[in-house]
A and B are shown apart, each in its own frame.
Chain A
Amino acid sequence: MKNAIIKIISKYNKDRTRLMDILIDIQTEIGFIPDYAVTQIAEDLHMSEVDVEQTVSFYHFFSLIPTGKYKIYLNNSAVSNMMGRAEVAATFEKELGIKFGQLTPDGQIGLFETSCIGMNDQEPAAIINNLIFTKLTPFRVKEIVRDIKEEKPVVEMFSASFGDGKNASELIRSVVSNNIRKIGPILDPNYKPGEAIKQIVKMTPTQVIEEIKKSNIRGRGGAGFPTGLKWEFCRNASGKQKYIFCNADEGEPGTFKDRVILTEFPRLPFEGMVIAGYAVGATEGILYLRYEYKYLEQYLEDILENARKKNYLGKDIGGKKGFNFEIRIQFGAGAYVCGEESALIESAEGKRGEPRDRPPFPVEKGYLDMPTVVNNVETLCSVVKVILHGGEWYKSFGTTESTGTKLLSISGDCRFPGVYEVEWGFSINDMLDMVGALKSETQAVQVGGPSGALIAPNEFNRILGYEDLATGGSLIIFGRSRELLNDVVLNFTDFFIEESCGSCSTCRIVPSVLKNKLKKILNARGVMQDIDDMVEWGKILKASRCGLGQTAANPVLSSIKNFRHLYEEKVQKNKVFDSGFDLSMAVKEGSEATSRIPNF
């Protein structure tokens, strides 16, 4: 085993910035990161053991203790619960005879929870040894557990046919479905790879940036920073090397559009990276891909290899002398916060994914302290279309403030969950019609995932766009039967507690305080003051360093704003104060420890 570790470390030239890759390879090879691996890495990479350990402990898919030959990660997102996760989870526990977070006594099978894995349109879903299993049912779980006990390889456990489109291709072979429901310029099936590269070699980098600026395209991750401006800043920044990052760490619960793009149109974002590289003068690009999409690795590597063969990547691209650009894939290891650009860069450098203080912004000082552009997958796809058809053409879609189209990941209580490409300016009402959700049956829509807003029917006429409802594209529909506070707000708050990097005390503490208050209200012990307290406490989160912390109270704040009656009907009207303290519960453990029966 030790030799295997040494081999892995040398494969990455004992480069400290490749720690993520080293750890991923060891985790894959051995099943966990043993003590002696930590020691070996620390020695070879000239870093302290705690530095190695703190990176290991940061990521959900790394473990310092054995996690079994078969590792089952069942998604615990709100939509997964809505689609029957409870029965699936119970069946896993019953069939395996263990609880979540445990290993079977023989050490062969581990059962774990995980945050949204980008399969919201086909829940409940799980990852077993890097392969995705969708639409699980108790019956399917029994089959899977039986196969595992027979020690079948995981690839042979699929019983259903492969998913649609490229999911069935030789290099993916996955049961995941694309569910593309509506196509537009980005999802246009007539796209010809390489065309845009032929275009840009005829332009100067500045002309490319001008064209992008003309299109008014803004970042598709949710924050909406103008892309052309970002590129220009990076181009003008000084640094001997510059980098282009494609952010494919879509971790916002309910988002899965990047997965579909990378499955059906992977050449688009890669081409977008090449264009960005040309425009800002970068020769290296990194696709930062979330670990949950590890099953796409071979396929994407193959696409890159083909691009190299066709001279769309590598040296003298498109026949233009000195136009060099190379792309590598960097996997994450399960951390939502790494979708934040500076945390993503930290992670790609082999560190904990903790957001950096800004300024300096990545365009000045990013990856390895060099000027770096970080763009969302979808942004880079749009860029290709802008180059092909022009900024003016692009502006013909959408609204003045929000040009172009947006890929929406729609899930929840509707007939046709999936990916829809619509023009910005689309209203929530139209969206509900489009996906087959009855307005009379719809209680709420979560726009932009947990960090976004929970919208009530009286606001369904609002539109998607940077001027109104800015979103990275996650839309979750909740029907009348859903208990919004318990099924949604509590689940989302748990998500933020789980995914906080722990750096800012606000984000580390306040979401837990809010959760306690929420549970108190759900337990019928709340009073009016608790609702007001939550609003006040929630404001403190604005002091956090990154977007995750700043929005961690949004599930609570936005539901109080739009659904205050749900809170008010649960609080006690005859009391102004209730601490929620329950003496009989508090003395339970103490009575048992001393074999006494409390008598108050």
Chain B
Amino acid sequence: MSKPVIATTSLAGCFGCHMSILDIDDRILELIELVEFNKSPIDDIKKFTKKCDIGLIEGGCCNSENVHVLKDFREHCKILVSVGECAIMGGLPAMRNGIPIKECLDEAYLNGPTVVGNTEKIVPNDPELPILLNKVYPCHEVVKIDYYLPGCPPRADLIWDALTALITGNEMKLPYEVVKFD
């Protein structure tokens, strides 16, 4: 039997959840034995080269590119997992949700106390740049998400258990210590 294929991405996240994946320490060697990575920052594969079994999504959608990547993942992965607070709820980036975009951009590029040297008063608008969405969306409001791993970031053990459960088809162990947050 061929190894299950995994893809990962970080959308509007801080890469903290990916760090947590690496936090499984030496078990990563075990993981490499068990699975094959496709599109992921871990192996730096930029484009899907085949259908994957599991997609791990960090971060929510704050711009048009996030939406395209997320939809691409949905198309290529049999199972999609929202990993961490931002993917599940929008997280910290969603704090802008109550503020009009223009106000955010003006604060960031024109009026904020840390703005220096923008003498031409330019708000970035290059066609190459993704366009901001009206608010930060959790992933399940954009595509179907199959599973959710809570935490900020989810503990390495939780990620490890979830992955092994998905791969082996066994029921996942969810002891209280793994999902408590205080």
| B54 is an interface residue with CB less than 8 A from chain A | no
- Give the nearest-CB partner of B139 in chain A: A579
Are A590 and B132 in contact (CB-based, < 8 A)? yes
| A577 is an interface residue with CB less than 8 A from chain B | yes
A588/B134 contact (C-beta < 8 A), A593-B101, A594-B125 known: yes
Are B142 and A593 in contact (CB-based, < 8 A)? no
In the bound complex, what is the Cα–Cα distance between A583 and B61 (angstroms)?
A: 11
Are B125 and A596 in contact (CB-based, < 8 A)? yes
With a cutoff of 8 Å between Cβ atoms, the chain B residues found around residue A585 in the complex are: 134
| B98 is an interface residue with CB less than 8 A from chain A | no
In the bound complex, what is the Cα–Cα distance between A581 and B68 (angstroms)?
A: 12
Contact count band on A: 20 to 34
| A598 is an interface residue with CB less than 8 A from chain B | yes
With a cutoff of 8 Å between Cβ atoms, the chain A residues found around residue B133 in the complex are: 586-587, 590
Interface string of B67-105 (1 = CB under 8 A from A): 110000000000000000000000000000000111001
Which A residues from 558 to 600 make CB contacts under 8 A with B? 577, 579-581, 583, 585-596, 598-600
Which of A588, A590, A599, A600 gathers most chain B CB within 10 Å?
A: A590
Are A586 and B137 in contact (CB-based, < 8 A)? yes
Which of B63, B102, B131, B137 contacts A581, CB < 8 Å?
B137
| B117 is an interface residue with CB less than 8 A from chain A | no
A591/B131 contact (C-beta < 8 A), A583-B64, A586-B137, A596-B125 known: yes
- Give the nearest-CB partner of A577 in chain B: B144
With a cutoff of 8 Å between Cβ atoms, the chain B residues found around residue A590 in the complex are: 63, 101, 131-134
Which of A594, A596, A599 gathers most chain B CB within 10 Å?
A: A594
Which of A579, A587, A592, A593 contacts B140, CB < 8 Å?
A579
Are B125 and A598 in contact (CB-based, < 8 A)? no
- Give the nearest-CB partner of A589 in chain B: B134
CB distance from A599 to the nearest CB of B (A): 7
| B123 is an interface residue with CB less than 8 A from chain A | yes
Interface string of B114-150 (1 = CB under 8 A from A): 0000000001110100011111010011111000000
CB distance from B110 to the nearest CB of A (A): 12
A595/B125 contact (C-beta < 8 A), A587-B131, A590-B131, A590-B132 known: yes
Which of B68, B127, B134, B137 contacts A596, CB < 8 Å?
B127
With a cutoff of 8 Å between Cβ atoms, the chain B residues found around residue A600 in the complex are: 64, 68
In the bound complex, what is the Cα–Cα distance between A579 and B67 (angstroms)?
A: 12
- Give the nearest-CB partner of B100 in chain A: A589
With a cutoff of 8 Å between Cβ atoms, the chain A residues found around residue B143 in the complex are: 579, 581
In the bound complex, what is the Cα–Cα distance between A194 and B140 (angstroms)?
A: 66
With a cutoff of 8 Å between Cβ atoms, the chain A residues found around residue B144 in the complex are: 577, 579
CB distance from A88 to the nearest CB of B (A): 31
Which of A585, A586, A595 gathers most chain B CB within 10 Å?
A: A586
Are A598 and B64 in contact (CB-based, < 8 A)? yes
With a cutoff of 8 Å between Cβ atoms, the chain A residues found around residue B101 in the complex are: 589-590, 593
Which A residues from 409 to 427 make CB contacts under 8 A with B? none
Are B134 and A586 in contact (CB-based, < 8 A)? yes
- Give the nearest-CB partner of B125 in chain A: A594
In the bound complex, what is the Cα–Cα distance between A256 and B45 (angstroms)?
A: 68
In the bound complex, what is the Cα–Cα distance between A598 and B133 (angstroms)?
A: 11
In the bound complex, what is the Cα–Cα distance between A586 and B65 (angstroms)?
A: 12
With a cutoff of 8 Å between Cβ atoms, the chain A residues found around residue B125 in the complex are: 594-596
In the bound complex, what is the Cα–Cα distance between A579 and B137 (angstroms)?
A: 11
In the bound complex, what is the Cα–Cα distance between A591 and B131 (angstroms)?
A: 6
Interface string of A341-360 (1 = CB under 8 A from B): 00000000000000000000
In the bound complex, what is the Cα–Cα distance between A579 and B61 (angstroms)?
A: 13
- Give the nearest-CB partner of B106 in chain A: A593
With a cutoff of 8 Å between Cβ atoms, the chain B residues found around residue A589 in the complex are: 100-101, 132, 134
- Give the nearest-CB partner of B70 in chain A: A581
Are B132 and A593 in contact (CB-based, < 8 A)? yes
Interface string of B35-74 (1 = CB under 8 A from A): 0000000000000000000000000000110011000000
In the bound complex, what is the Cα–Cα distance between A137 and B124 (angstroms)?
A: 51
CB distance from A367 to the nearest CB of B (A): 39
In the bound complex, what is the Cα–Cα distance between A586 and B137 (angstroms)?
A: 10
CB distance from A517 to the nearest CB of B (A): 12
- Give the nearest-CB partner of A586 in chain B: B133
CB distance from A522 to the nearest CB of B (A): 18
With a cutoff of 8 Å between Cβ atoms, the chain B residues found around residue A581 in the complex are: 67, 137, 141-143
CB distance from B85 to the nearest CB of A (A): 18
Are B137 and A587 in contact (CB-based, < 8 A)? no
A598/B141 contact (C-beta < 8 A), A589-B100, A590-B101, A593-B101 known: no
What are 30 contact pairs spanning A and B, CB under 8 A?
A: A577-B144, A579-B142, A580-B141, A581-B141, A581-B143, A583-B64, A586-B67, A586-B135, A587-B131, A587-B133, A589-B100, A589-B101, A589-B132, A589-B134, A590-B63, A590-B101, A590-B131, A591-B131, A592-B102, A593-B100, A593-B102, A593-B105, A593-B132, A594-B105, A594-B124, A596-B125, A596-B131, A598-B64, A598-B131, A600-B68
**Contact surface of A with B, Cβ cutoff 8 Å:** 577, 579-581, 583, 585-596, 598-600
12 new A-B contacts at CB < 8 Å, known A586-B67, A586-B137, A592-B102: A579-B143, A579-B144, A581-B67, A581-B137, A581-B141, A581-B142, A586-B134, A590-B131, A590-B132, A593-B123, A594-B124, A599-B127
Sorted nearest first, the 9 A-B pairs with minimum C-beta distance are A590-B132, A594-B125, A593-B102, A589-B134, A586-B133, A577-B144, A587-B131, A593-B101, A581-B142
